[in-house]
Every structure is written in structure tokens, then in C-alpha cells.
Amino acid sequence: MEISPRYTVETYSLLTHNCNNFSNEVAQFLVGSNIPDYILQLPSEVMSNPMGALLMPMIQNLETTFRAGAVPQVPQFRPSVSAQSSQSTTISVNGSSISSQPKEVDNKVKDGEQPKSEEVKTSEKTIPPSKPIGKKVNSIDVVYTPWSNLKKTPSMDVGQVGFYNSKMVRTVRVEKRIHETVNRLNKTKVERKPDLKAKKEAVYAAEKTQRKQQLKEKKRRVEMQRLERQAEIRSYEDLMVPEKMTSNKQIAATSKSFQEVEEDFM
């Protein structure tokens, strides 16, 4: 089931602006971030075309929200996909549950369906000012979905992403701009430029040291086993086994005299 995008001409112009290296930038950001189980995502119709430049500013501004000490919570509102469900479904994301009853859900997000979390609302208000064109856009749709619901196949273009289950997609519309929120976050914004080469070399060095320690421990265990086997071979414990001994009483019980036994031995 597909999601019908509701974008203005200005929004589409924003989406088509600077979307080169989209996937690489998102991948590099997500690897080192503490984004929760859901991320911001665009509708599949938009992602199927060479569009998607809006997603990177979304995530960057979400990171700014994290650094400001605000942790977005799971949005609590009904699915924004038009569907006729035959049974009720419950979706659990990040410890919270979102339930949908068996009824027709409208594809419009009303004011009462906005997430109640102030942190989520704060992160959403930082999206429009991300681009020069976005500052002039009053209505932008933000789509939430668990990361496990993202679908990527080899046949897709760069930046194109789909969804495994459209019922797990939640859409929120940012109706207007609030500059006070953006200005407040900019005051606490911290930009770091880590030395990625040094970090990579440090990780490799730590892994190399760990492998050396594991190899050393393995050699030590092998040497201990070898010494134990040699000690067992040199031991006389196996020579004095009572079950293998024969006494004179046992020989007499065989009704053979000592002379016969000696003759048999010779």
C-alpha cells in the first residue's frame, strides 16, 4: 500500500535540491548517532524519484535536538494510510504501543492527531529552516517508521527507500514555522569535527591487540594440554592396574601346578 504525498510546488522544489550522495551521508550519520528505533523518512512516491534531499536536514536537526538534551519519544497518533483493516493491530516501538482499531483511517493528519511529546514537536519545528527554500514553506509532512520497516532492494535507485509494512508508517504535518524553537536550539548547538582517520586507526589497533591476546591465550592452552599429555605418558599409574594382575591363588584355581605353568611359560 502506497502513501499519497501531499506536497506543494515549493516543497517539491525543496526535495529536488541537492540530493547527491544522499545514501552515503545518511549511512555515515546513522552509524555514529544515538537515533532511537524510529527515524524520519519520506513517502515512497517521493523516494522512488531522484528526490530526498529533505531527509538529511531532518536528521541533522534531529541530532541538534539530541545535543540540546531533548530525546524524542514515540509519536502517539493513528496511522495516516488509507486502509480498511479487518482486525485490530498493535505496534510496539521502543517500549511503547500504538494500536489501530478495525476502521477506515483517513489519509489526512488532523490537529488532534499530532504527537503529544514536546520533544518530538521541537524536532519537527527544526525541519523547515534547514534549507533556504524550506524557510518559506508552511506545510511539510514528516514521516516516522521503525528502522526495521525500511525496505531497500538492489533494484532501487540511490536514496530510494520503501516500507515493508505501510501500517507501521506514521505521518505528521508541520503546519507553521516557529523561529523561537530554532533559535533556542542554535544557542546550544555544538558542532564537532572528529579525526575519523585517527579513530579508525585506533579501532584497528585495539582489534589487533585483542587478536594478539586471543592468539597468545590459545597458544598457552595448547601448551598446557601438551604438557599434561606428556605427564600422563610418563606416569606409572597405568602399569599397576589391579584388574590386570594375577595372583598365585588364581593360578592354583586353574588346576595347574607351578611346574606346569613354568613349562607353559617356557
Q: How far apart are CA 179 and CA 160, in angstroms?
A: 31
Q: How far apart are CA 32 and CA 210, in angstroms?
A: 22
Q: How far apart are CA 127 and CA 57, in angstroms?
A: 7
Let me know: does 164 contact 151? Beta carbons within 8 Å.
yes
Which residue has cell 572528529? 194
The SS3 call for residue 111 is helix
Which residue has cell 585483542? 210
Cell of 137: 514553506
Tell which residue, 78, 63, 80, has the closest CA to residue 122. Answer: 63
Q: How far apart are CA 117 and CA 100, in angstroms?
A: 19
User: Which residues, listed in sequence order, are joined to residue 146 by a DSSP beta bridge?
Assistant: 38
Let me know: does 4 contact 45? Beta carbons within 8 Å.
yes
Q: How far is it between the farthest Cα atoms of the chain?
A: 121
pLDDT at 193 (0 to 100): 87
Q: Which amino acid is at 122?
A: T
Tens-level pLDDT at each residue, the chain (266 residues): 443 444 344 443 443 443 333 444 444 444 444 444 334 444 444 445 444 555 555 555 655 655 555 544 443 433 333 333 334 444 444 444 444 444 443 444 344 444 445 555 555 555 555 555 555 666 777 778 888 898 888 888 887 888 899 889 888 877 776 677 777 877 888 888 889 899 999 999 999 999 999 999 999 999 999 999 998 888 877 777 777 777 777 767 776 666 776 776 65
Let me know: does 159 contact 32? Beta carbons within 8 Å.
no
The SS3 call for residue 170 is strand
**CA–CA distances in Å: residue 131 to residues 5, 55, 166:** 20, 11, 28
Which residue has cell 541538534? 64
Residue 77: CB atoms within 10 Å = 17
Residue 13: CB atoms within 10 Å = 15
The SS3 call for residue 107 is coil
Let me know: does 53 contact 22? Beta carbons within 8 Å.
yes
Give the HSE-up count for residue 15: Cα atoms under 13 Å, Cβ half-sphere: 24
Helix 179-187 and helix 118-125: axis angle, to 10°? 90
Let me know: does 3 contact 113? Beta carbons within 8 Å.
no
pLDDT at 84 (0 to 100): 37
Let me know: does 60 contact 49? Beta carbons within 8 Å.
no
